[in-house]
Amino acid sequence: MSAARTKLVEMDEAIGVIKDGMSLTAGGFAHSHQPMALTRAIIRRGVRNLTIMGVAECWVAEYLAAAGAIGQAYMSNFMFEGFGRCRRFSEAVETGEIATEDHSHFGMICRLQAAGLGLPFMPIRAMSGTDIIERPGFEDAAAKSRRIESPFGGEAVRVVSPLKPDVAIIHAARADLDGNVQLFGATSVLEEQARAASHVIVSVEEIVSADVIRRQPELTILPGLLVDALVHLPYGAHPTGVYGYYDHDAAHLGEYYQASRDREATDGYLRRWVFEMEDHWSYLDAIGMSSLLRLRVDPALGSKLAARPS
Amino acid sequence: MTESLDVTRDELMAVAASREIRDGDLAFIGTGLPMVAAYLAKATHAPNVKLMFESGIIDPKPRELASGVGDYRLALGSPKIAGMAYALSLLQGGRVDLGFLGTAEIDAYGNLNSTVIGPYRHPKVRLAGSGGANDIASMAGRFVIIARLDRRRFVEKLSYLTTPGFLTGPGAREAAGLPGGGPARVITDLAVLGFDPASKRMRIEELFAGVTAAEVQERCGFELMKAPGIAESALPTANQLDLLRRVIDPDGIYLKP
Amino acid sequence: MVGQDKTCSLGDAVRLISDGDAIALGGARGYDHPLAAVREIIRQKRRGLHVVGCSKSIAMDLLAAAGCASLVEPDAGPRLRAAALGLPMLPLPDGADRSFTDPSARPFVDPFTGETALAVRALNPAFAIVHARWADAHGNAELACGLNGESEGDLMIARAARRVIVTTEQIVSEAAMAVGRGCAVLSGDRVASVVEAPFGTHPCDCEERYAGDLPGLDRCRAAAADPDAFAAWRSEYVDSVADHWGYVDRIGSRRLMGISLNRACRA
């Protein structure tokens, strides 16, 4: 076995590939395992005019929209469970700053799958008959989806064209130096995103030995062959959670949600938690290790226990 | 002795929604009242219902009510946790009997809007988007909408048709190649609505106690048909209310006073 | 299981300890020493403590340097073992160092062999302070499995004492404790308090959780050896932080994540 070069790099080197105008997809969903540290670093870089190819990475989309980094969005749904709308994203669409192309969840998934499988289209049974098909956004309707006759006779079937993101940014539980990535719990759309994207950046809570990975290979969601760059970012999903490690930080998410009510407060939030943070460690220390440690999940229940006096 | 029970609108809706679940169904459940309704059904008349969530969590046994389908508390006791493609491909494979959906706007054919108010390209309000709603409505055996009656919600014409009910009327779903059966019921805070089999238009099927058809029509922005025999919707039983208040949603996360 | 909730703050747990008490500290040879509790004892300015343990440790040295300890017994293992077994005394094992300097050791004639042997008197401290990986609210605590197959260490120390203060990396549910991973589990009956104190042995190693923090250890050793270094250490790590959570914030993410070994919280 030849000695593989390690995939591990520093965060700034990893995100250096992301340039203005690129298309981006991000892992995670709801308040779980979204690559927030990577997103904050991308914002600090001042990257502009990104195209989001999103399924459910609401916090990534909202932060990038708040920072004015998004030009257009292929999307299914951006919404904060338990809170409400993604206000900055929504307002940017309302003012025309962000152009949208809507899909159902499965529609986006099928387009990513088509790209990952190298196929010219993917059949799908959803979306027909609705404005998702009838009222296009920025994409040419015929380039997005068609109705074709099945070559085996009988029925017409809807097909969608592939969507191939330039970059996927993903946050997961652990990986070895070869970039074999493992994740506990629900896995969002990670696999489809990693297979579809041209370049895959993964940040993880822990770097572990190859032995640890090889003892439980069924937990490996992305083998190293799909990973281009690996970054060690403990608490890299904060303020979202990572199943098996820590719960989402509801108070901090609420703080953002409140701030997103208006432009000025949003800018204040971004200044405090993104722009004034020199690096990931500064961010974690601004949150405070004591706060982060209190987010840990119970090993049996999977979620954090109710707060106790400490 | 139901007169002495002080029931809230949310409780009425949750109980009415729970009745739509048949024992043995595989049901696709979203956040909010659908989750409450689903766990009530499971605890009462539908112990064998299997609940599935678009996050990829299948048949969990949560100890506490989750704040969403991505909430880690929801995953407890699940024999299978996968990703979104897994859950939604089971839906496309025809395995899901029932889905529950909420909505910003709904029309007479049970079509839903969760995308924009106003024009698509420069909307007055940009909403969340389809998410799994279009998938569920397209492909589940049947689906049930839960929505409070309001003229701004129940509209003659949707700003945008996100999610397919009966589309333009009889035969339209079939023409579009949608495999699922379409909307079965609409659970509101005043009445249980359904769809006229011939025209596929929304109609009043059950009224909650003390509510008239006229009151229901008043709150609806389009003309509602009436089912041949409009029944009074059974009030929640003491057992159902106890389960809701003490076991399922004791902190009133979704069941507001 | 219906049981008492014994969780409390580190401050409240340490307030149970009175001046002059004998306290046994858990840990052995650099691992699992309850440093968070030690810093709190120093903060609360306890005096006249009889500090015992199974090996010399930086924990004992700091208590001595702080003036909290009037007597330190780093080799009290045999005495604690006697107490843990409920015995008034225990013979030292054959081949025990003849120069064993425990003043409580006495020679006696072995009734079976007629040989002269040494015995030590049981020591039954008011408190044992041990650091657990996991503990539940009732005080059931998963202790270190022990280096080199010694699975007894902290369990023995806990059993020797009248009451136990458990600091733990994480307070977990009964369901998590029930999983049973083959580690030593202290049963909660004699536990007086359970305190959640992640990185509670820092800068010492915590087996399976984090390695030693070398700069931190250097600071502690210097503090134990020199009054000026002690004053600076005390000022930075005791007096200017409100509690252990403040200490953890002060040490900071880069160092704590740099030494962490196993952060997954999975039963």
Q: What is the pLDDT of residues B149-185, one digit of tens each?
A: 999 999 999 999 999 999 999 999 999 999 999 999 9
Tell me the nearest-neighbour CA distance from A217 into chain C, angstroms.
17
**Contact, B26 vs B91, CB < 8 A?**
no
Is A283 contained in some domain? yes
Q: How confident is the model at residue C152, as a pLDDT?
A: 67
Overall average pLDDT of the B83-108 stretch? 96
State in Å, rounded, how far the first CA of chain B is from the last one.
21
Say if A219 is an interface residue toward chain B (CB within 8 Å): no
Class of domain C10-77+123-259: alpha beta
Domain that holds residue A179: 11-104+164-293
Domain boundaries, chain C: 10-77+123-259, 88-121
Would the pLDDT of A237 be above 90? yes
Q: How confident is the model at residue A3, as a pLDDT?
A: 52
CB contact under 8 A, C178 and A292: no
What is the dihedral sign for C-alpha C21, C22, C27, C30? positive
A109 three-state secondary structure: helix
Going from the C-alpha of B106 to that of each of B154, B156, B168, C109, the distances in angstroms are: 5, 8, 13, 95
In tens, the pLDDT along C85-127 reads 999 999 887 666 655 667 778 888 989 999 888 899 999 999 9
**Contact, A98 vs A92, CB < 8 A?**
yes
CB contact under 8 A, A94 and B123: yes
Q: How confident is the model at residue C147 (pLDDT cuts 50, 70, 90)?
A: low
Asked if B54 is an active-site residue, the reply is yes
In tens, the pLDDT along B142-152 reads 999 999 999 99
Would the pLDDT of B30 be above 60? yes
Please give the structure tokens belonging to residue C196: 């959640």
Please give the structure tokens belonging to residue B119: 């024009």
Q: Running DSSP on this structure, what letter comes out for residue C173?
A: -
Would the pLDDT of B23 be above 50? yes
Say if A191 is an interface residue toward chain B (CB within 8 Å): yes
Q: Which of B3, B11, B20, B54 is catalytic?
A: B54
**Contact, A259 vs A268, CB < 8 A?**
yes
Is A137 contained in some domain? no
Would the pLDDT of C223 be above 70? yes
Say if A33 is an interface residue toward chain C (CB within 8 Å): no
Distance CA B252, CA C186 (A): 39
Please give the structure tokens belonging to residue A56: 């459910």
Nearest CA in chain C to A209: C261
Nearest CB neighbour to B92, from listed A32, A125, A130: A125
Nearest CB neighbour to C253, from listed A173, A289, A309: A289
Is A170 contained in some domain? yes
Q: Which chains touch B (3 or more CB pairs under 8 A)?
A: A
Would the pLDDT of C7 be above 80? yes
In tens, the pLDDT along A201-228 reads 999 999 999 999 999 999 999 999 999 9
Distance CA B43, CA B243 (A): 8
| Cβ-Cβ contacts under 8 Å, A206 against chain C | 260, 262-264
Q: How confident is the model at residue A154 (pLDDT cuts 50, 70, 90)?
A: confident
CATH (domain of A87): 3.40.1080.10
A and C: number of Cβ contacts within 8 A: 88
Q: How confident is the model at residue B201, as a pLDDT?
A: 98
Nearest CB neighbour to A247, from listed B31, B72, B178: B72
Question: For chain B, what is the mean pLDDT?
Answer: 95
Distance CA A113, CA A118 (A): 8
Q: How confident is the model at residue C29, as a pLDDT?
A: 84
Nearest CA in chain A to C254: A281
Distance CA C85, CA C90 (A): 9
The domain tally of chain A equals 1
CB contact under 8 A, C264 and A244: yes
Distance CA A284, CA B46 (A): 46
Is A222 contained in some domain? yes
Question: For chain C, what is the mean pLDDT?
Answer: 92
Would the pLDDT of C140 be above 50? yes
Identity of the residue numbered A57? E
Identity of the residue numbered B13? M
DSSP string over C53-120: -SS--HHHHHHHHTT-EEEEETT-HHHHHHHHTT-SEEEPPTT--TT---TT-EEEE-TTT--EEEEE
Its pTM stands at: 0.95
Would the pLDDT of C9 be above 80? yes
| Cβ-Cβ contacts under 8 Å, B131 against chain A | 56, 76-77, 79, 104-105
Domains of chain B: 2-246 (3.40.1080.10)
Q: How confident is the model at residue C96, as a pLDDT?
A: 63
CB contact under 8 A, C253 and A299: no
CB contact under 8 A, A288 and C260: no
Q: Which chains touch A (3 or more CB pairs under 8 A)?
A: B, C
Identity of the residue numbered A107? G
DSSP string over chain B: -GGG----HHHHHHHHHHTTPPTT-EEEE-SSHHHHHHHHHHHTT-TT-EEEETTSEES---SS--SSTT-GGGGTT-SEE--HHHHHHHHHTT---EEEE--SEE-TT--EE-SEES-SSS-SEE----BTHHHHHHHSSEEEEE----TTTB-SS-SS--B-SSTTSTTHHHHTT--S--EEEEE-SSEEEEE-TTT--EEEEEE-TT--HHHHHHT-SSPPEEEEEEEEPPPPPHHHHHIIIIII-TT-SSS--
Number of CB atoms found within 10 A of residue C186's CB: 23
Overall average pLDDT of the C79-86 stretch? 94
Is A4 contained in some domain? no
Is A152 contained in some domain? no
Is A123 contained in some domain? no
In tens, the pLDDT along C156-207 reads 999 999 999 999 999 999 999 998 777 778 989 989 999 999 999 999 999 9
Going from the C-alpha of C217 to that of each of A144, C197, C202, C212, the distances in angstroms are: 62, 19, 9, 7
Note the ipTM here: 0.95
Provide the Cα torsion B117, B119, B120, B124; round to 10°. -50
Is A155 contained in some domain? no
Q: How confident is the model at residue A135, as a pLDDT?
A: 96
Q: How confident is the model at residue C202, as a pLDDT?
A: 98
Phi and psi torsions of C174, nearest 5°: -60, -35
Please give the structure tokens belonging to residue A278: 């020199």
Distance CA C223, CA C27 (A): 20
Q: How confident is the model at residue A276, as a pLDDT?
A: 97
Q: How confident is the model at residue C267, as a pLDDT?
A: 87
Would the pLDDT of C150 be above 60? no
